[in-house]
Chains A and B, each alone.
Chain A
Amino acid sequence: MAKEGTPDARRTVQRVPTSAAGAASCRPRGHPSAEPGSAGREPKAARDVRVAVCEYGAGNVRSVTIAFTRLGADVATTSAPDDVLAADLAVLPGVGSAAAAMAGLRERGLDEALRTRVEEGRATLGICLGLQLALEESEEDGGVQCLGLLPGRAVRLREGRVPRIGWAPVEPSGDAFYFAHSYAADTPAASAHSEGVVAEARSGAFIGVQFHPEKSGAAGARFLERCLSHA
């Protein structure tokens, strides 16, 4: 894994020049055909934003729901594709194994709902495993086909202590967020890094973060608030 400021990390950042704000912004990159979620619209008040948090049998959904509720959003935890399609912001959280999570998504038809949203340019947020599931594949569990909302694959962390657990600064904003992961995204869509690890990646209306904004105190709340204001 590349350290901060190594040629590797710089190259990845340069490929995505619109990412200058990095984790400081949750605005999906403008998509000309996008309706909701497109740039240039007035930010919404949090209370007007309908958030659907995908419930598909993968871990700690409750903390994500609580975090958005605290910000005043209208949050529903759901396994129904229709709810995911109807929301202003869909959230794919998750901890645990990629294979089990993908099976859970497919079983409920949530994989198609998420793809449709992102194709339509509608704001969608992946958190932790949710970022990894958005990639084309993961090397976890001997190789898992993922959603393909983002180019690239999830690879096992090979440096430092793994799982990588704790607070680490996310560049370029410099705010520290909480991470807890053994795999990380290897993607040309990276828009922010932390210690050489992809901290955030985005493509069209999809944004994925490796850290847990719902567990990242004030910095995390600010991040989620920006997600709501651009949903």
Chain B
Amino acid sequence: MPLPRLIPCLDVAAGRVVKGVRFEGLRDVGDPVELGAAYSDAGADELVYLDVKATLENRASFVELVGRVAERLAIPFTVGGGVRSVEDAEALLRAGADKVSVNTAALARPALLTEIAELLGSQAVVVAIDASGGEVYSHAGTRPAGRRATDWAREAQERGAGEVLLTSIDADGTREGYDLELTSAVAEAVSVPVIASGGAGEARHVAQALEVAQAALLASILHENPARLASLRDELRGLGVHLRDAA
């Protein structure tokens, strides 16, 4: 198996990295290209850029931003938020993204995963699943989708998803650790890689997640601070996690 991956997540709105309780009180914390490059220098294995507003009006500017990110970065990155069609996915990959993540649109129309995978390959298709109490929620975690996370993960894989980005709504923001029970259950249900997301407060939590998942998404634990990523990598190495030597 490839080395465990650390993946900083950047929430983007109107061309800027924002933070805050998702969708409320967004605060501008920096430039997506500069922050991404700084994370890359600090040893990020990949990055995820999420278009948190994902309105049709700012679609073109998001694609343009993806193009600028590709010009600057020499590591892989996934983009998500508002991917509703094969054309959306293709435009993002053409701009230089490596993968697209699909959430609500795939729940509404699971064949979308197959269509993207057939054109761009499964390795380019990430299914993002938000779950609480083992149940899937759509629309940024607000609406129950009436499906078990394990069932949906398995179906998404069969339809062409090459990776699962699994966010625990219960753990998200608690800083008390990833939802290991949910993550293990989904990792056992699928044979594609799983990225654990939500709940990281300290290095120990990330190490625990990497025992059951192939990658850990890092959001608030980093405070948009690349130096924190570098120190986190050192702490993880101290805990015996075998990370890539980024030199």
Q: Answer yes or no: do A and B interact.
A: yes
A180 & B76 in contact (Cβ 8 Å cutoff): yes
Chain A residue, CB-CB nearest to B90: A59
Q: Which A residue sits closest to B245, measured CB to CB?
A: A176
State A189–B70 Cα separation when bound (angstroms): 32
| Those of B109-137 within 8 Å (CB) of chain A | 118-124
A97 in the interface (beta carbon within 8 A): yes
Report how far A180 CA is from B77 CA in the complex, Å. Answer: 12
Q: How far is the CA of A140 from the CA of B124 in the complex (A)?
A: 17
Q: Given contacts A163-B162, A163-B192, are A181 and B123 in contact (CB under 8 A)? A: yes
A214 touches B74 (CB 8 A): yes
Whether B98 sits at the interface, judged by CB under 8 Å, is yes
Using CB atoms, name the residue of chain B closest to A169: B3
A166 and B3: CB pair below 8 A? Answer: yes
Residue pair B246, A217 in contact (C-beta under 8 Å): yes
Contact A165 B123 (CB under 8 A): yes
Contacts of B95 in A (CB 8 A): 62
Q: Which residues of B contact A161 (CB under 8 A)?
A: 1, 191-193, 214
Interface centre among B74, B118, B124, B215 (most CB of A within 10 A): B74
Tell me whether B45 is interfacial, beta carbon within 8 Å: yes
Complex contact A215–B75 (CB within 8 A) = yes
A168-210: which residues lie under 8 A (CB-CB) from chain B? 168, 176, 178-182, 195
What 0/1 pattern do residues 31 to 73 of A give for CB contact below 8 A with B?
0000000000000000000000000000110110011001000
- Measured CA separation A228–B4 after assembly (Å): 31
> Within the assembled complex, what's the spacing in Å between the Cα atoms of A168 and B74?
16
Q: Which residues of chain B from 46 to 76 have any CB-CB distance to chain A below 8 Å in the complex?
A: 67, 70-71, 74-76
* B45→A96 contact, CB < 8 A: no
Q: Which residues of A contact B67 (CB under 8 A)?
A: 62
Which one of B1, B70, B74 lies within 8 Å of A221 (CB-CB)?
A: B74
Does A218 count as interface, using CB distance less than 8 angstroms? yes
- Smallest Cβ-Cβ distance to B125: which chain A residue: A163
Complex interface: chain A residues within 8 A of B94 (CB)? 60, 62
The answer to whether B5 has its CB under 8 Å from any CB of chain A is yes
- The answer to whether the Cβ of A230 comes within 8 Å of any Cβ in the partner chain is no
Q: Given A97-B121, A165-B162, A176-B3, are A215 and B214 neighbors across the interface (CB < 8 Å)?
A: no
Does B123 lie within 8 Å of A67, measured CB to CB? no
Q: Mark interface residues in B215-242 (1 if CB within 8 Å of A CB, else 0).
A: 1000000000000000000000000000
Point out which of A161, A164, A182 has the most chain B C-beta atoms below 10 A from its C-beta: A161
Contacts of A97 in B (CB 8 A): 118, 121
- Smallest CB-CB A-B distances: 7 pairs: A166-B2, A180-B123, A163-B123, A168-B2, A96-B121, A163-B162, A167-B244
11 A-B contact pairs sorted by A residue (CB < 8 Å): A60-B93, A60-B98, A95-B124, A96-B119, A161-B192, A166-B2, A166-B215, A182-B121, A217-B74, A218-B246, A221-B74
Q: Show the binding face of B for A, using Cβ within 8 Å.
A: 1-5, 40, 45, 67, 70-71, 74-76, 93-98, 118-124, 162-163, 191-193, 214-215, 244-247
| A interface, CB within 8 angstroms of B | 59-60, 62-63, 66-67, 70, 95-97, 100, 129, 160-168, 176, 178-182, 195, 212, 214-218, 220-221
